[in-house]
Structure 1
């Protein structure tokens, strides 16, 4: 069962972190009218409501003051578009602040950064309030106390992980902090580790509601925290336990879904591949899409059945990555942009077009919408008719985030000017765990085990039951699909020992596999940074993609600066202490 995300109506008169909002001194001296004191709600019901409020902050919606997309929990701007997997899309005059971010020419006054910062610290605040009240609720059993504390610290670890990978040096504020104006001159990785370690040790393996974090989600996040710090031995040990022993919150052993496509269909979510999802729900009775993936409301084909808005267009660079060798079935890791996949760039929808006939990884057509290929069950993607401005954002459309026509009444939400969906945001899924474990093994363990993990992912992608099929009647999509006919020329095979002969060779394949498996899911920029290859990869992307679309021209990644986004200037201004000195320091280069 999903937790329906709502902010608890119970109110604790504790001033919000000055890092996320401001409050008058007088507010601290008297209770708000109609508020309940901490002593009144210091019981299991009160603590649980605060904990639900901490979960509610996961979607980032309504917490940062900016547009819903500015704090989208899938980081489609900061992770996917800035990572070269997609263009911003739409046209240049629409949300131009994103263009500055993805070309690395923005400054600390860009409002997107402040919105993301505030939303994450609101989550921190709610987790801290839960922990603070838990200390006063003395009648709660030890078992329940450990579970509640574990969930609160898991959530706090998640919010700080988001802040750390975005901004690097951020201030640590916890439930014991009296002055929220803390400096950002201390590395908080040990604190994040401690939160996930506590959650791992104290959370149960199963929960009464699927949406709640369990011990194995905490273990996976702990392993990810180690990986980001290059603690490869610690990471591989934790991931080994997650892979061999881990279960989801319903008690189902972690395993890949039989078909790749089912990870992106709301009808199949909360499954064996779910490690931790942010739960979304459509048509919840609120008359809004606040709980229906509102952060992604812009990311549907333009002038289409989805109404709005033409953002989040996969790049040609990403599409080319899915080419495979027709003999070996393996990707062109080092030269994938040679002989690119044919597109309908510059071709109107009324003109004839024949899609690319070369061999492809089948995951392409569950990730990218392209001309002449079925767009789920909505008919063939018509090309330019669904693209707002091809010369700016390219000819492609996103697909992982798009609901099916047959189930739209259940999983789509039309309560706003752009669609909402019941598709969960996947923070960590089991394929991600396998690839992180493969990376850790290649760095500090067994190359054969790394190969095994990667091939589990590739073999699932090679399941023909999951290939996109052609329509039975090409002129009548309503007729359904022909199970004997693939929509494109799909060829994919596993790697062999020769491909993983050295750690360097193995890591090259693992890095590329993450690009293919997790494309458009918000990981790419942060992966490039932690691997230390952001400069070469992104500047090569700007050079290649800039010859195709105008949106990224002028982009340049500067090492020593662009690995992290700037500390929002608004937060530096708010951090001024009694002497007039800001307690927050700006990141280098800004």
Structure 2
């Protein structure tokens, strides 16, 4: 699939299908010169894959990052915007639940997802032409339609979870469509159901979708509607008959060298240093999210910093279980206000080992680059706190291979962005079981995820820094000793449905932390207002920029960009 991304750069064929998309046609070719066969239509399918990363024009792509780190994590209790208060100011509004309809960030995200829809529809139109001209046979046409409809379902779902009231744009649309009183859920379901029924079990190329991918995504759509009865048989099929499995190492899900593993159900593919201009096939969406003032990623730019609340969630008790109700009572020790030149002792209490693959903490190895020195690597500790994210930072041993060297920053990586991991499939199945009071089954699925995380071979290890007295060159020796007091065990039982659901939701948070799901999970489960206001009541005392912030009714969805409403001639209505 990464080779196919390069192909996308060469072709880039697209066409808008309604005014509100406001996407100019690029790289167009006269229809008279086109043979609408499988090879040609495949280039259009590849173009639709190419916009999964949200990269419209290599300009501030993080506004539409595939990971949704702004809209799904900074908007939640997992992360702060980070950096300095005045940098990328529109994200401040997202963090404080006051996003504006005039935000260039929301406008870019809207245009990116509807550009993806436009590319899918262009492919579907081309398929119909191919059938009419007999350049395409029915069998090939059906598979190509299924792939295009899967991708169209994905883009519509991205819009749905962001804005809720959205138009559904299919290949027949020629004018602006309303976004109110539209049953977009059923249309999205239809696309994924068609894909699940008509795609093969094996993808044409690595990174492309197959029937199992479509089934998993269809189950996700049902989960977002709390339609557990519909999700259950699909999840059972994927778990019992599908090709997926948990990686032995949790960390392999965020390692460039283990991309597209058995746990990867659907991921946005990235490549580095190919023939694309300015590293455009790399992971531009995460380019800001590297340590400031370090050798990592050109020292850019100190955004997307984990919250203290999230770090506290990784504490465990003497039995290796999460502190479901009391995790935020006492903070995991941090170095806020402590100079990097002053001594600091990391937290010595029990911790879930996934913490140190998710969060960069002072005194702990940071992806082989060095022991995290603390505030020396933090752009503005008073604003963003003492922590750094790690999941999209490549290992030092991968520098020059896992990142682009042609872009303006070395933080443009080739690390894929996970959209669905198999561990999430298991946790959906656990949630369904708990909702049905099948506590034994829910326990099995949750414990599978926890058991994998307990693999001691994957624990972050202590580092011995050896400094050459003459050159000051640093050599890092990896020891066998775990870097912290990692204690994690399986749940012995779920005593009742309420406890089970609390444990499952907590497990989702720590397993998938900083991967773009948290805010949307809270919204779909109806927990956003209570959870986020509880978070703000404590966190606003630590982060001045959150003072006065609150989450109210109606904050579950983002305002539709005013530019889209204007371009639709008022057909679109504001949320």
Sort the TM-score into its range (normalised by shorter chain). over 0.9
Deviation of 1:335 (Å)? 1.3
Assess, with a 3 A threshold, how the Cα gap between structure 1 residues 5 and 19 changes in structure 2: closer, same or farther: farther
CA contact (8 A) 1:69 1:294 kept: yes
Secondary structure at the residue paired with 1:211?
coil
Aligned to 1:585: 573
Determine the structure 2 residue equivalent to 1:268: 258
Change (3 A) 1:339 1:213: same
Tell me the distance in 1 between the aligned counterparts of 2:515 and 2:414.
16
1:292 partnered with 2:282: yes
Matching residue of 1:250: none
Deviation at 1:287, TM superposition (A): 4.4
- For the residue of structure 1 that corresponds to 2:348, the secondary structure is coil
The offset of 1:479, in angstroms, is: 4.0
Q: Does the aligned pair in 2 maintain the 1:13–1:35 contact within 8 Å?
A: no
Mapped contact 1:16–1:22 kept (Cα < 8 A): no
Match of 1:251 in 2: none
**Cα distance in structure 1, aligned partners of 2:304 and 2:520:** 18
Q: Check 1:193–1:479 CA distance in 2 against 1; reply closer, same or farther (3 A cut).
A: same
* Contact 2:11-2:47 at 8 Å conserved across structures: no
Alignment CA distance shift 1:15-1:378 (3 Å): closer
Q: Distance in 1 between matches of 2:437 and 2:136?
A: 43
Whether the 8 Å contact between 1:20 and 1:121 is mirrored in structure 2 is yes
Please say if 1:97 is aligned against 2:93: no
Do the aligned partners of 1:301 and 1:386 also contact (CA within 8 Å) in 2? yes
Counterpart of 1:142 (choices 116, 138, 141) is: 138
* CA distance in 1 between partners of 2:517 and 2:237 (Å): 23
Q: Give the aligned partner of residue 336 of structure 1.
A: 327
Label 1:6 to 1:563 Cα distance change in 2 as closer, same or farther (>3 A).
Answer: farther
CA distance in structure 1 between the aligned counterparts of 2:15 and 2:461, rounded to whole angstroms:
56
2 CA distance for matches of 1:114 and 1:376?
34
Q: Deviations over 1:120-141 (max 9, x none)?
A: 0000000011011101112323
| Aligned partner of 1:358 among 349, 374, 377 | 349
Equivalent residues of 2:278, 2:406 under 8 A apart: yes
1:279 matched to 2:280:
no
2:477 to 472, 480, 485: 480
Partner of 2:525: 531
**8 Å contact from structure 1 (residues 281, 421) kept in 2:** yes
Q: Distance in 2 between matches of 1:514 and 1:88?
A: 22
1:18/1:181 contact within 8 Å kept: no
* 2:372 is the alignment partner of 1:375: no
Q: Kindly report which structure 2 residues correspond to 1:490-501, keeping only aligned pairs within 5 A, or say none.
A: 490-497=486-493, 500-501=494-495
1:60 correspondence with 2:57: no
Matched, 1:515 2:505: no
| RMSD, aligned α-carbons | 1.9
The superposition leaves residues 287-319 of structure 1 with CA deviations (integer Å, 9 ceiling, x where unpaired) of 413211101100001001122100011010000
> Deviation at 1:410?
0.9
- Cα 1:332–1:14 shift into 2, 3 Å: closer
SS of the aligned residue for 1:131 comes to: helix
Residue of structure 1 equivalent to 2:220: 224
In 1, Cα distance between equivalents of 2:12 and 2:258? 36
1:224-254 per-residue CA deviation (whole Å, 9 max, x = no partner) reads 000100100111111110111112xxxxxx1
Structure 1 unaligned segments of length 5 or more: list them: 248-253, 577-581
Give how far 1:399 is off: 0.4
Alpha-carbon spacing, 1:278–1:562, altered in 2? closer, same or farther (3 Å): same
Asked if the contact 1:12–1:36 (Cα under 8 Å) also holds between the matched residues in 2, the reply is no
**Deviation by residue 1:184-230 (Cα, 9 ceiling, x = unmatched):** 43130000000000000000000231111000000000000001001
1:40 equivalenced with 2:34 (yes/no):
yes
Cα distance between partner residues in 2 of 1:35 and 1:127: 17
Question: What aligned pairs does 1:155-554 form with structure 2 within 5 A after superposition?
Answer: 155-247=151-243, 254-306=244-296, 307-325=299-317, 327-418=318-409, 419-444=411-436, 446-473=438-465, 478-483=475-480, 485-497=481-493, 500-554=494-548
For residues 321-348 of structure 1, give each alpha carbon's deviation from its aligned partner in whole angstroms, at most 9, with x where no partner exists. Answer: 00000x2100111111112100000001
CA contact (8 A) 1:472 1:482 kept: yes
Unaligned runs of 5+ in 2: 469-473
Aligned residue in 2 for 1:49? 43
CA distance in 2, matches of 1:11, 1:490: 48
TM-score, normalised with respect to structure 1: 0.92
Distance 1:443 1:555 in 2: 33
Q: CA deviation at 1:541?
A: 1.3
Q: Find the aligned partners of 2:18 and 2:33 in 1 and give their Cα distance.
A: 21
Could you tell me whether the CA contact under 8 Å between 1:100 and 1:106 is conserved in 2? yes
CA drift of 1:547 comes to 1.4
